[in-house]
Amino acid sequence: MLTTLLTQIENNICTITINRPDKLNALNKTVITELSTAIDEVYSNSEIKSAIITGAGPKAFVAGADISEFLQLTSAQGEELSRRGQQMVFDKIEKSPKPIVAAVNGFALGGGCELALSCHFIYASENAKFGQPEVNLGLIPGYGGTQRLTQLIGRNRSMELLMTGNMLSAQEAMTYGIVNKIVTADELVSKTKETLQLIQSKAPLAIKAVIECVNNFDHTQQGYDFEIKKFGECFATEDLKEGASAFLEKRKANFKGK
Ligand code: COA
């Protein structure tokens, strides 16, 4: 029984809503544990083909890790909080074989920004705001923020955001390449679902291979070698035979994910 999340499966899309609106959906230990369970379900439930992560209420996606849990922590406990969160949630989202998209409806700060960054891409409402304000607390991001943000927007922009703690508007975040699309708050989940329906019509094992290859992005030959291997693996799937035959027979492909 989940107490801090709402989950709903519709048209094979699992919508995971973080539901602590009175605390701006801050990530406490329970939310992290329950998110881990919800992501495991995305991995294992064959009815689920993709997922959306969003926040309850009009104000916030997630306003960060729960600051009220910070005061008592020792250095070792802080390290454990970060490691546990990264393993249980953030890395698992990034490596999910099924697409997981963030629908950011308001503040995405600290761990909230990191949660969105760990998703495969981000759609945002017009009132979305992104930032890593940890330096205001004497902290740095601990859920992969220094790494994923730098990879996404580059060293200098990342340095400035992480050192100032400034927030970006949805429009600025789109200019930076953080956000793919901005829509009204009312349309946010439905527009995200539209894109996921499109992705769900493609070959699932090819989608999984895309995620693996992009996650393995590397400037060196290693990245190309990984792609070559994954490309080859596609030829062992029934879906490739179905997709290529459907094209040649001028009909719609019926993919089985096999
Ligand atoms: N952790 C714990 N509680 C949080 C929180 C967080 N990260 N962010 C917001 N809240 C709580 C507030 O304490 C407040 O609770 P209360 O009503 O019991 O006092 C409630 O959520 C509403 O937040 P409030 O600050 O009153 O809203 P606001 O509209 O004035 O400001 C923010 C919104 C997002 C600018 C502000 O809440 C904020 O700066 N939050 C912290 C962001 C942050 O530093 N995140 C990184 C954490 S590592």
Kindly state whether residue 24 falls inside one of the protein's structural domains: yes
CATH number at residue 141: 3.90.226.10
Range of the domain at 74: 5-184
Kindly state whether residue 195 falls inside one of the protein's structural domains: no
Q: Give the number of other Cβ atoms within 10 Å of residue 31's Cβ.
A: 26
Residue 59 CA to ligand 1 centre (angstroms):
11
Kindly state whether residue 191 falls inside one of the protein's structural domains: no
Kindly state whether residue 58 falls inside one of the protein's structural domains: yes
* Cα separation, 124 vs 181, whole angstroms: 6
Q: Over the stretch 32-48, which tens digit does the pLDDT of each residue have?
A: 999 999 999 999 999 99
Phi, psi dihedrals of residue 24, rounded to the nearest 5°: 50, 35
Q: Mark out the alpha helices in 69-126 (DSSP H runs).
A: 75-85, 91-94, 111-118
Q: Over the stretch 150-187, which tens digit does the pLDDT of each residue have?
A: 999 999 999 999 999 999 999 999 999 999 999 999 99
Contact yes or no for 98/203 (Cβ under 8 A): no
Kindly state whether residue 217 falls inside one of the protein's structural domains: no
Kindly state whether residue 208 falls inside one of the protein's structural domains: no
85 Cβ inside 6 Å of ligand 1: no
Q: Is the pLDDT of residue 1 over 90?
A: no
Q: Beta partners for 108?
A: 62, 130
Which residues are part of the catalytic machinery?
114, 134
Q: Is the pLDDT of residue 219 over 90?
A: no
173 Cβ inside 6 Å of ligand 1: no
Question: What domain count does the chain have?
Answer: 1
Taking phi over 0 as left and psi of -120 to 50 as alpha, with beta for the rest, 57 belongs to: left
